[in-house]
Amino acid sequence: MRDAVTSLIKNYDLAGRYFDRNAIDSLKSYFDSGTARVQAAAAINSNAAGLVKQAALKLYEELPELIRPGGNSYTTRRYAACLRDMDYYLRYATYALVAGNTNVLDERVLQGLRETYNSLGVPIGPTVRGIQILKDLIKEQVAAAGVVNTAFVDEPFDHITRELSEQDI
């Protein structure tokens, strides 16, 4: 797993260049947001299970057909699998949030996810909506924890939804 610093160093090293103003500004931005990133991770960690459960409840309020007979979350086993997957997205998005880099999502979550979901008959649209709901709940939780600017929370969740959505065109 790479973070914002190691990725930046790797890119400049491959190009055989010294850091320029853009690189320095990027590093400064990452370090300036470090405390907020750690606070956000702590806020998520303190209530991860509750956030996942709340996101699932909101998703099923919006899309009740998912939990009706024939729906993809119908039966206890399928419902539990949905919660497990949402928890999985949350955990890896939190890693990416702290690292300031989405590489871990590409390596550990997104690689082969669409193919797996297609083979299991898991609909992508509700998955994307669930991740968006989760992001909104997390931003509220992080703001309640005292983080003023929660914009950095968007990056990992938007990356997951964008990658799933682009592949579903």
Residues of each annotated binding site for (2R,3E)-phycocyanobilin: 72, 77, 82
Instruction: List strand residue ranges (DSSP E) for the chain, in order.
Output: none
Q: Which residues are annotated as a binding site?
A: 72, 77, 82
The whole-angstrom distance between residue 134's C-alpha and the CA centroid of its chain comes to 9
Contact (Cβ atoms closer than 8 angstroms) between residue 93 and residue 86: no
> Cα 92–64–130 angle (5° rounding)?
15
Using DSSP's 3-state secondary structure scheme, residue 14 falls into helix
Amino acid letter for position 126:
P
- Please give the torsion angle defined by the CA atoms of residues 83, 48, 149 and 97, in that order, rounded to the nearest 10 degrees: -80
Concatenating the DSSP letter of every residue in 85-104 gives: HHHHHHHHHHHHHHHT-SHH
